[in-house]
Structure 1
Amino acid sequence: MSRSRVALLGLGLLLMLLLYLGLPGPPEQTSWLWGNPNVTVVAGLTPGNSPIFYREVRPLHRAHRVEVVLLHGKAFNSHTWERLGTLQLLSQKGYRAVALDLPGFGNSAPSEEARTEAGRAELLQRVLRDLKVHNAVLVSPSLSGHYSLPFLMRSHQQLHGFVPIAPTSTRNYTQEQFWVVKTPTLILYGELDRVLARESLQQLRHLPNHSVVKLRAAGHACYLHKPQDFHVALLSFLDHLL
């Protein structure tokens, strides 16, 4: 191969490298329509040192001030609420809804902040602030109680409602600490969940402003086993908050 050809080949490879390095990275936020021109779906990362991935539905015409924030259990992530149809249903009813990937799950990286109880409460507070959520109803299944309960104890005045679904960490708090929380609460659990549901129910019953719904023939992830019953109970609770 002649020197001129080698030089041209080298120049071409250099140009390709420069073009590659100059290309913009993946966008931090993307949006698309969900087969419904009145609903916009947004997915992206919150700002800050420990960004959290989120999925959000924004109805064009919001019917309610209440905003629903959905956490997830150990084997799941924010995409669970999309597959289940919860995000779509809430948007159809005029609610803004946001589903989060907790640190180390889905598209969210692990976070040093999540190592302590105070850090987890602060992380959740920061995410709500970054996403401009002002009238949150927090839906918290299973593992996510590790985040929602510290937040509830410290910042329950910021919550419009709370929907625990057999959450972990209820034993970390006393009866007196639960008594202080006046947030309207819907305690949801599956009839066949005979371990964590019973343990958490025993503690959560000390919340003074609560109601209880048991989903028949459903296990720990009762919202997956009985999605229609879950959605009916959730929407009924939201309607009573208005």
Structure 2
Amino acid sequence: IFLLYVGLPGPPEQNSWFWGDPNVTVLAGLTPGNSPIFYREVLPLNPAHRVEVVLLHGKAFNSHTWEQLGTLQLLSQRGYRAVALDLPGDDSPTSASQVVGITGAHHHAQLIFDLEVQNAVLVSPSLSGHYALPFLMRGHHQLHGFVPIAPTSTQNYTQEQFWAVKTPTLILYGELDHILARESLRHLRHLPNHSVVKLRNAGHACYLHKPQDFHLVLLAFLDHLL
């Protein structure tokens, strides 16, 4: 139910160009099922870790957000491969505003990481929970770690379903997010292998409000997984 694209051959058609930071490669291609995919990728400057980070985004954002925030570049500097995906839209694959109401969830369940990502750590803020949580429930054995940031759709799963997920999880949320953060935390706490970090004076998009704190916490979690 989520198109994480891991472990399958690369897209048969692919073009790349540079936009913004010259170290960030923007790629577009087709999956084996002829679904368009768009993503930004940064390879580690000095490969040091086998963990690779896949970053999703919320409704008002896209993969470029992680480049603008410096997350892709920072992960590369620390020896991690980082991939930021554009979630699909009804009209444009790069339109985050079209994510709500997307159909074909069963089709997306057939796509398990088309980017040859291994030992993936999935970062899932806000609306991307609609995609990440179904994948977590069905394919958690393929994830090395999970970082939910006040994701949606947590209410769709039972306490028993959360208990069954053994993936190491870092639950992140902003102190000033009084609605979705609280709701998601109430359910995510049932994950048996989790830690919780609250970013002070930050709202729903806490990684934007406190980027330095967010990066420090994320890097500490990734380093702990090694």
Question: What TM bracket, shorter-length normalisation?
Answer: 0.7 to 0.9
The residue that corresponds to 1:102 in the other structure is: 87
The residue that corresponds to 2:16 in the other structure is: 30
Give the number of aligned pairs.
208
Contact 2:19 2:26 in 1 (8 A): no
Matched, 1:158 2:145: no
CA distance in 2, matches of 1:62, 1:176: 38
Q: CA RMSD in A?
A: 2.3
1:1-242, aligned counterparts within 5 Å?
28-32=14-18, 40-48=23-31, 49-104=34-89, 107=94, 114-123=102-111, 125=112, 128=113, 130-242=114-226
Change (3 A) 1:77 1:35: closer
CA distance in 1, matches of 2:87, 2:19: 25
Structure 2 stretches lacking a partner, 5+ long: 1-12
Change (3 A) 1:34 1:135: farther
User: Residue 30 of structure 2: SS of its match in structure 1?
Assistant: coil
Paired letter, 1:222: C
Change (3 A) 1:203 1:35: closer
Query: How far did residue 219 of structure 1 move?
Result: 0.2
Paired letter, 2:162: F
Q: Which has the larger radius of gyration?
A: 1
The residue that corresponds to 1:14 in the other structure is: none
Query: How far did residue 107 of structure 1 move?
Result: 2.5
Paired letter, 1:70: L
Query: How far did residue 33 of structure 1 move?
Result: 9.8
CA distance in 2, matches of 1:224, 1:231: 10
TM normalised by structure 1 equals 0.80
User: Residue 24 of structure 2: SS of its match in structure 1?
Assistant: strand
Structure 1 stretches lacking a partner, 5+ long: 1-26
RCO comparison, higher one (Cα < 8 Å, 6+) = 2
- Percent identity reads 74
CA distance in 2, matches of 1:108, 1:95: 27
